[in-house]
Amino acid sequence: MPATAPTLRKALKRAAPGLSVERALWHDGHDVVVGVDEVGRGSWAGPLTVGAAVLPRDRRVNKVRDSKLLSELEREALFDRIAGWCAAWAVGHATQAECDELGMSAAQRLAARRAIAGLGVVPDQVLVDGNWDFVGGGISRRIVKGDATCLSISAASILAKVSRDRIMRAEAEHYPGYDFEANKGYPCPRHKVALRGLGPSAIHRRTWVFMDTLPWSGLHRVLPPDPQGTLFT
């Protein structure tokens, strides 16, 4: 992977996220402003990951964008620069088993708690990407398309995406055939063919509906929690 970020593609040059929300909060006395973003919710295998980033007020790293707009090479090249730039940063994970046992919403809240706890600082305000507040506590603000417009959320999105991608590339060595190094656990034609032929691996989410028609290879089948919170297996 390259050590420095490559020149931004022309289409991305006008897509820079800003600091207007963070600056307004700093001006109002909120010293520790945390941007958070999630990755992996739609994956069929592996963890759900939340990134958290606290930006410094006096330094700026260029070329940070929503992780979905960047290539894998661009994200990897930016990762160390962002990690070194942040005043504090962390990622939190909810494992495949926790996603199955808790349900995806509760697993996302768990991963967010772990990420924020890993910062080593107490947040005054948390900026959350999207229209669902998975942080809570009375200190969060939802920002629709925040990963594209809010710099701390954009930074968190890259930290989360690269961290999870590295986990899935490492898992690919243990589960050959599923192409995790390329698809990172998300559905794609090769992944679906592998599931039909091999059945699910130990890191697949076993409560998901796509599992209903698959061959099973001796793994214990887990069903989603019922509305009263009881897990049926």
Grouping H, G, I as helix, E, B as strand and the rest as coil, residue 36 is: strand
pLDDT, tens only, 158-194: 999 999 999 999 999 999 999 999 999 999 999 999 9
Average pLDDT of the residues of the chain: 89
pLDDT, tens only, 195-209: 988 888 999 998 887
* Integer angstrom CA distances of residue 16 from 13, 61, 159, 190: 7, 11, 17, 34
The yes or no reply on domain 18-171 and CATH 3.40.50.300 is no
pLDDT at 2 over 60: no
What is the crossing angle of helices 72-85 and 151-174, to 10°? 120
List strands edge to edge, sheet with 88-94: 88-94, 48-54, 33-39, 125-129, 140-143
pLDDT given at position 189: 92
From CA 186, how far away is CA 45, in angstroms rounded? 7
pLDDT, tens only, 73-90: 999 999 999 999 999 999
Cβ burial, residue 225 (10 Å; 0-12/13-18/19+): middle
State mean pLDDT over 205-232. 64
